[in-house]
Chains A and B, each alone.
Chain A
Amino acid sequence: MRKGMLMCLLMLMAAVAVLDVAPARAEYGDVVLNKRSDKEGMRPVIFSHWFHRIRFRCKVCHDELGFKMRAGANDVLMVDIVDGKFCGLCHNGQIAWGTERCDLCHSGRHGLESRIHGGNQSLGPGRW
């Protein structure tokens, strides 16, 4: 009987260990932009697809704004954003917060790699 109880306990622990894994870090589709931020002494930018998708359809950024649909394929310069290109079409203080509120976008940990985080659940070889 003691053996049975031990088995049960082991089973319980295995179930917790295997199935109750911590959720994937970052949200699905979160993009880190860090081509220049760290070098310039700013926190990397975190772009959340979920946050934007509630408010805008994909076509707004990927058609009207001209963002290519591959993380890393866009060369987004702060000077262009201030000029109203890329993020700057909305982040101008009218549709969304303006570029003077640096910290709201530059909110990532230092040293993060530029790429999509929290995605790719298929675990393919992946270019994300």
Chain B
Amino acid sequence: MRSRRGRRRSRYYLWLLLATLILIARTPVAADMARRWLPLVKDGIHDPKSPALRLLQQPGEALSRLPADVAGSQVNWTAALEQGRINPRTNILPETKIRVLDTDILLNLRGGTPIVRFPHRQHTVWLDCGNCHEQLFKSKAGANKFSMQLILQGEQCGVCHGAVAFPLTQCGRCHNTARDKPLPAAAVRGS
């Protein structure tokens, strides 16, 4: 027969196990399985009395079917497009020219953090050249002065990243190229 002390100890370990399991469940690895979206009626901005709530699509219904991400809307929109899981329209007006560019630009070449390899393709499948050029950024490589401070304030890349595109907590997704290895040859050197 087990002693009272032994029983108490096993209960202690049970609690410890439970706490650990909850901790694991909340990590980014598990987040893929635990993605969740608030129903519109509880999202804090829709009026629960609005008749629209019976008709509008629920975010969970639409987004749970798309490739997972750990931040933002919890959907990797680039992957969703590349895998053909969504096929959003490129234009409404038939005369609109669809422009896609496939050049990578290396940025932050003299900084301390890893180099930024900016891919034009992933941006231009969604956006038009005119959305960034020439107002936000000059087209000439090396002509732009980037500032993380400005980006955090919603300028430059921060016009989208941090508001509608993946947030600025995802450092490594832009600062994605090691400084101590040979630089990718195909990429253009920026500032």
A residues in contact (CB < 8 Å) with B? 1-2, 4-5, 8-9, 11-12, 15-16, 19-20, 23, 25-30, 32, 43, 46, 48-51, 53-60, 62-65, 69-71, 89-90, 95, 103-110, 112, 116-122, 124-128
Contact = CB atoms under 8 A, between A and B. Distances in A.
Given A27-B37, A29-B163, A125-B152, A103 B52 contact: yes
B22 interface: yes
B98 to A, nearest CB: 8
Given A122-B169, A125-B152, A128-B163, 7 more contacts: A19-B23, A20-B26, A23-B37, A64-B96, A65-B92, A69-B131, A122-B162
B182 interface: no
Nearest to A52: B88
Could you say which interface size class chain B belongs to? 35 or more
Interface of B: 5, 8-9, 11-12, 15-16, 18-19, 22-23, 26, 36-38, 43-47, 50-53, 55-57, 59, 62-63, 71-75, 77, 86, 88-93, 96, 125-128, 130-131, 152-155, 158-160, 162-164, 167-169
A8 B10 CA distance: 12
Given A57-B127, A59-B131, A64-B96, A15 B164 contact: no
B73 A50 contact: yes
A16 B37 contact: no
Contact of B59 (A27, A90, A112): A27
A101 B38 CA distance: 24
B166 to A, nearest CB: 9
Contacts of A65: 92
A54 B45 contact: no
A49 B84 CA distance: 19
B8 A5 contact: yes
A124 B153 CA distance: 6
Contacts of A125: 152-153
Contact of B55 (A2, A23, A26, A104): A104
